[in-house]
Amino acid sequence: QGHSAPVPSSAPLHAAPEQIHSTPVPAAAPGSEPAPASAPASAPAQTEPEHGHSMPAPEASPVPAPALAPASALAPPPLAPLIPAPLIPAVSAATPAASPSAAGMSHVSSVVQQSAEQAPAASEQDSMAAEAAPIFSVAAAAAGRADATMERLAVAEHAEPEAKENEADAEEDRRPRLKDEATFLENDMTINIMPSVHGNVLMPLTDGGVQYLLAGARANVGVRDGRYMFEAKIVEVLNPVQDPRAQHAKLPQPRHLLRMGFSTGGSSLFLGDTEDSVCFDSEGAFTHNKRSSLVSQKFARDQVVAVLLNLDEGSPNANTVSLFRDGVRISQPQPLPEGLRGKPLFPTITFRCVTVHVNFGPMPLKALPFSCRTLQDAAQKDVVVAMHSQPRDGKYEVIFPISLPDEGTFDWLDMFLEKHPDFTELSDRKILEWAAKSGIFRPKGYSYKVSNDKPEMGFGIQMDDLSVSRLLRSLAASQQRNFVVMEVKSNLVREERKDLVRRFTAPHFKTTAHIMICEPSKEFKDRVHSHLLKQKQEASDIQWRLQQQEKARIKLLEKQQRALDRERKKAEKAAERLARSAAREAKAAALAAKKAEEERAAQEMKKAQDATEAKEGGGDAMKDGEGEQSKPGDGAQPANDQQADAPKPMEVDGGTQQKSEEELKEDNADDDDDEDEEKDDVDDDEMEEDEPVEEHPPRVFLSEEEQKQWFRKSDIPDLSPLVLSSSFTNFTLPQKDEGFDNVIYEWQKKARSADYLREWILSRKLTTRVEEIQPGEWFNEQWHGWQQQLQKWQQVLSDSKDPSRLAPKRDEGEAKDKAESKDIDMEAGGSKEAEKEGEKKAEKTLENEEDMEVDDLDVFGVTDVCNVGSGEPLFASFTFEDWALMSLRFELHTLAHAFRRDVNDPERLGIHHEHLPFYFQRYFRKAFNPRFYGVSTVEELVDFIRDSVAISKNGILESLLSDELDTYDLFLKLTEESRRERQLRIDSGDVSATLKFSKPLLQQSPPVATGAMAALPQQRAYDRGPRPATPGRVYAGPQPASYQSYSYSAQSPQTGYYGKSTGSKAYSGPQVSSGKGYSGPPSIQPYGQKRPYNSSYGKGYAR
């Protein structure tokens, strides 16, 4: 603890005391005089740094900020004898290599000066140290007063002259002063602030999640010229109880915050959030338009912080703001943004979890290094006063907008608030916007909303329980300001509307219902059309930019492709030139070789001729004697020599001429290549110059359809589908007897608005689903009976395929027919002849029936669908698709009738086809998707079973069959008739009649006894899905005999559930369920072996 820490060189001017004394001061040596407990009356006030060591706070004096001390001022101390030996190493170690910051030296210099003035009786060692070389140390002598200890912190004899403060003392101004009181108006404060009656003390609320929200307040006096200041001091730091739910949430930081600055009138109360404000904060940042930079030191509780605004054009710091702490500058002047210059700027503060005292003057709490006037002491011409308009009758207005969902509710509200900025909106939408500006983290982001009326908070903290909304509504009833209560659903429901009105029964309020229903006003439609045009223009601009980028990309690719083509052509032409050059060289070489060969041959021939002539000439000479000798110089040459040596001009000239022509052609080809290249370059340049360049996107216009549109369509609905479906039938228009002082119909008159609301409710009943509907008793009975009938038909189909069971049934059927014929004949005549004749007719009829094929039968004339002859059922030819369509016929028919019975509303005509999957899932506990049946829409699927159900013109599902059918045979007969028709089309070559059902997708439905899955045995996947609640009986114990019709396959014990028969022997013995499976007889499976478990049909028999 005897070592002093050097002040960082990057510290700003006038570092805080706790920054300078980050290392404890060494304790006094034994026997030395202790430090005084308190300073004299003339000494500066004492403050407590972070580590608990007392130190004098700098007195407010006009001392300009000093410049940085030179490095030579920090040389090792030459007066070592003045310091105790044990402290010399500490002093040397504490001396930094580079010069300390101006902040540290400034504070040390001021302390030394004050101590020298206040302690004239200092010791001789102190005076020597003041004249000595610079020493930077917090070490003190073993004995001495506290002032002497602070003197030895620094001695800067060789320091450079102190820097001059650019701000000068305020000149005397005799102009009239501000008459109005500078204060905060209630309508220019956030609703979570509790102001004091006098003194401008502001305290925020810290309960119910409001502690996470920022509070903001703006003064009523704005500065437009001159130089003025205002002060603020944190008098209390609030620490509300931490929400247990917020332990793992990301809370806004810092928890305690104060921002001070200036903003324009009517702008946001949250400083730094927009371009209309600038501010300093307690963390040392300067913020404008959500951009922050560290420019100052921090400030905390009990420190007086002043913000100086300089709009004096004659000052060196014109159009700047500065920050001072306890009368000392802690920030260099920061320039005002261009957008704020020339506008009246109002003092504004934004804070969280702190109580703030704001001082507007006329006297400052802490004097600055120069004389400066406060806001209250400003000249009247230099300021603007925002007046708070009092209502004429003394009553503030509370407006309740009444509008239908998604029909301009919030557009009207935005337009109203633009015209009346003195109104405060009370809505969950505003709370969510407030939280975003307060920096509260939202995991899903602020763009995600379930609805505009009640957006899901989703912060993971106390605000999620809507406690903020309840608290602010209670608080609003006690404030004197105008409100707009924006509740889309509650303002339309009578009981909820009355509860809202009761909150504002204070005598200073008057409640008004503004009804905006039916066709809006021209002003509103113009606003909507302008928004639509703006959105359309923005979308067009984006599309245009994308097209321009695509054109530029294509153009670049084409240019690159042309460059590649040119390079390729150049390479090809260069190769051709090389080839021509090589051909010329080869040809020249061949000609040279040929010429050399000819010359050699000519020489050889000449030599041979010469030899022959010489030989012949020698023989003649010998034969004739001496011949005549030619005379020298006569110029005579032999004929052969003359012929051989004579030039051949025609041949040589001809060859030369031919060679020149070929070379000329090649040279011309090279020139053509060069011209082509130049032409390509010129063409590219001309192409770039000729292409028109669109500098601006095209202007768009609204179509006729868009101009007829009254309201904008939003991606986020005003009410969630669940809330809308459960409440729209209770929508009513407000009446005065509900507590309203006024009821105003803004768009249309009362009668037309009421008619429009009635028609709107009727149309919504056709298109809005009923979320709370549940299957009724009639549906459960029909569904249970259908399941039993399916099981019976499946058993008949299984028996019809067993020859051992088919013969007895055939004999039984024949005997039955004979008996019936006999009874008829006995009734007719009673004679034996009639009996014999009747027997013959019966035998003939049986023979004809045996010869008759099933496909030739009249489907709707069959009395017994389980035996149309020879024990064969009518559905013997059914395939998987036929069973699926038969089940679909019954399901949609039953659903259409059950909905009307369960909804119990004659104005609801039926199920809209868009909501068919929802109701199908609600009633049958399985998914409904047309893609399972090979089609994409509900209309295409209904066309498969158009003999049973249909979709009306208004999109409602209607059943074509009665809801009082005595038997289910009709669905089977309709399916068989449709199958025959489809088969005829397929046989005639109509490929479109082929069904393309997805068997795996249809089999994913819950295990109900539908024909689609009961017809054929299929391997059941081991799927742990959610257990569906099957309508009908629920069984969890031993089954009665009437319920023991479960067919179980011995060949494939793991295939299927009830309703999937494989033709094997059915088990009808006692079935006892242990709750987790099925134990069959030993003949089928070992006793106690559990049936393959599938959670989708529950544990045990819940059927």
Answer with the residue of higher pLDDT: 416 or 992.
416
Asked if pLDDT for residue 585 goes beyond 70, the answer is yes
Asked if pLDDT for residue 705 goes beyond 60, the answer is yes
Asked if pLDDT for residue 747 goes beyond 70, the answer is yes
Among 354-368, 395-409, 595-609, 1012-1026, the least confident range: 1012-1026
Mean pLDDT of 832-858: 57
Where does 462-521 have alpha helices with state H? 467-476, 494-502
| pLDDT confidence bin for 242, thresholds 50/70/90 | confident
Mean pLDDT of 464-486: 89
Helix (H) or strand (E) holding 424: strand 423-426
The helix-helix angle for 832-851 and 803-828 (nearest 10°) equals: 140
> Would you state the pLDDT for residue 798?
87
The winner for highest mean pLDDT among 65-79, 116-130, 807-821, 884-898 is 884-898
Mean pLDDT of 406-426: 92
Answer with the residue of higher pLDDT: 870 or 775.
775
Return d(Cα 812, Cα 818) in angstroms, integer.
Answer: 10
| pLDDT confidence bin for 846, thresholds 50/70/90 | low
Asked if pLDDT for residue 749 goes beyond 80, the answer is yes
Return d(Cα 351, Cα 252) in angstroms, integer.
Answer: 13
Asked if pLDDT for residue 190 goes beyond 80, the answer is yes
Asked if pLDDT for residue 1034 goes beyond 70, the answer is no
> Would you state the pLDDT for residue 98?
37
Mean pLDDT of 418-430: 91
Asked if pLDDT for residue 159 goes beyond 50, the answer is no
pLDDT digits (tens, 9 = 90+) for 1072-1101: 333 333 333 333 333 333 334 344 333 333
> Would you state the pLDDT for residue 633?
44
> Would you state the pLDDT for residue 1098?
36
- Please, is 670 exposed, middle or buried when counting C-beta atoms within 10 Å of its C-beta (0-12, 13-18, 19+)? middle
**Residue 332, Cα to own-chain centre: how many angstroms?**
40
Among 532-546, 647-661, 749-763, 879-893, the least confident range: 647-661
Positive or negative: CA dihedral 896, 902, 908, 909: positive
Asked, as a colleague might, if the bond just before 362 is cis with ω within 30 of 0, I would say: yes
Where does 625-720 have alpha helices with state H? 639-645, 649-690, 704-707
Instruction: State which amino acid sits at residue 102.
Output: A
Collapsed DSSP state (helix, strand, coil) of residue 495 = helix
Strands 423-426, 482-485: pairing kind: parallel
Please provide the average confidence, as pLDDT, over all residues in the chain.
73
> Would you state the pLDDT for residue 843?
57
**pTM, full prediction:** 0.62
Residues near 88 by beta carbon (within 8 Å), at least 6 away in sequence = 80
> Would you state the pLDDT for residue 259?
96
| pLDDT confidence bin for 520, thresholds 50/70/90 | very high
pLDDT digits (tens, 9 = 90+) for 825-835: 555 555 555 55
> Would you state the pLDDT for residue 124?
42
Return d(Cα 228, Cα 958) in angstroms, integer.
Answer: 78
